[in-house]
Amino acid sequence: MSRILIVEDEAIIRGALRRLLERHDHEVSEAGCVAEARELDPQSFDLVISDLRLPGEPGTDLITLAAPVPVLIMTSYASMRSAVEALKLGAVDYVAKPFDHDELLETVSRVLHQQATRQAKPPAVTDEGGQRQTMIGNCPAMQVVYSRIRKTAPADVTVLIQGESGTGKELVARALHQQSKRAAAPLICVNCAAIPETLIESELFGHEKGAFTGANAARTGLVEAADRGTLFLDEIGELPPDAQARLLRVLQEGEIRKIGSVETRHVDVRLIAATHRDLHSLSKTGEFRLDLYYRLNVMQIDLPPLRDREDDILEIADALLAKACRRHDREGLRLSRAARRVIRDAPWPGNVRELENALERGVILAESHLIHPDDLGLAAPPRQSAAPETRVMSLDESPEGDDDADTDDLSLEDYFQHFVLEHQDQMSETELAQKLGISRKCLWERRQRLGIPRKKGPRRSAG
């Protein structure tokens, strides 16, 4: 439901407009002038509809007062001059009085939709350790995710999050919980694939003492522990059939019954489920209950894989690298341009989790201030050149003809090879290693890998 502020000095027009908008499920507030509108805090609304000419300050003053909330201007003076002036001052659009109801509703709907798309900001999430973090990325697919989170979180409906492993499904679940009306209550996270099938029902629903061998004491289940809060079931496609039937009863009746008990208990739980599998297809083969699937899929959020988020990959990599540097006390490390190219072009089957592991590896293995592709454990993308040999570049030659290009533009292999070949006659192995910012052992290993022999000159033999 969108909140709209009407600013109009004529009570009849103001009332008629309010009734029209309320019939179409908008929440409406009224003001008779800019001063009254200011007291209502125009920035707290989704849209301001204001007459151009008002007693005291003109309606266009609300454009600045309400920013970034859009202002739709109404005017009885529907001349091109007044409309253009309002638009120049920042009005999102204008409508002429007397207005056509359908045209006005269409304009309002369009403006609200555009505003919702622009305001789809990454939500802030607090992790288990209490650290606050913001979801990263602004590609169109993630804009849809942010918008869906913002709209779905307060609705208190069941949500199904679908996406490949490592795309951040738990992060979305936390955002949904923390922006919901249940934020003060617990969020219980359960990985259904990590619990043995023989124990999953006991873990979720609890058991009475003596209900089965080894049940030496009564146990409260995780569903009950999430009462008044949110239960997040990750990898719900792995839930066995008996547990699926029990979960369906929780969703339908709001009741649980512990294993070995004859009594039922009412619970008030919001369920968020996640999976990388196609539950609808699993229901056709009998592996997943179709009625449970329909109960789960009230609202669906699809997370895109990392390979489809080209515009976000490097931004995510920089944020994860900063965290890894702090964790390992390696502040100041950065990715070489060759490493950035490899990261951007990699397929990332493990998605963000795989990227995070690669960067952690790079922070640990890097021997200079730069992290190179081999530190990440990633293969460089295939070259377009037909020649299999690595081309030796002179020190005064810049890649791609750019005289000001940083040497990071070279791949690690190119830079290492041309530097060693150019300087090994004048420098010892220790001096070469120091200049390259690596150890003698690493210098030797890279020589071996790239097939660069050590020169056997008179100076070295004399030493």
Each residue's pLDDT tens digit, 286-317 = 999 999 999 999 999 999 999 999 889 999 99
* Overall pTM > 0.75: no
- The answer on 104 and 16 residing in a single domain is yes
Whether residues 148 and 262 fall in one domain: yes
Domain total of the chain: 4
* Number of Cβ within a 10 Å radius of residue 137: 21
Is the same domain home to 159 and 275? yes
Q: Is residue 455 part of a domain?
A: no
Query: 109 and 254 share a domain?
Result: no
Cα 448 to Cα 453: distance, rounded to the nearest angstrom:
8
Q: Which of 67-71, 110-114, 277-281 has the lowest average pLDDT? A: 110-114
Q: What is the pLDDT of residues 389-418, one digit of tens each?
A: 434 333 333 344 333 334 444 455 666 777
**Which of residues 325, 357, 376 is at a domain's end?**
376
49 with 170, same domain: the answer is: no
Asked if 84 and 93 count as a contact pair (C-beta separation under 8 A), the reply is: no
Taking only the tens place, the pLDDT of each residue in 359-384 is 999 999 999 889 999 999 876 555 44
Last residue of a domain, one of 60, 91, 119: 119
| Domain membership flag for residue 372 | yes
What is the token pair recorded at 27?
Answer: 């929440």
Q: Which of 265, 281, 302 is the last residue of a domain?
A: 302
Supply the CATH number for residue 13's domain. 3.40.50.2300
Q: Which domain holds residue 363?
A: 307-376
Residues 322 and 441 in one domain: no
Rounded-to-integer distance, Cα 60 and Cα 65, Å: 9
Q: What would the mean pLDDT of 122-139 be, rounded to a whole number? A: 76
CA 62 – CA 289 distance, rounded (Å): 54
Please, are residues 255 and 249 in contact by the beta-carbon 8 Å criterion?
A: yes
**Percent of all residues in the chain with a pLDDT value above 90, rounded to a whole number:** 48
DSSP line for 152-193: HGGG---EEEE--TTS-HHHHHHHHHHTSTTTTS-EEEEEGG
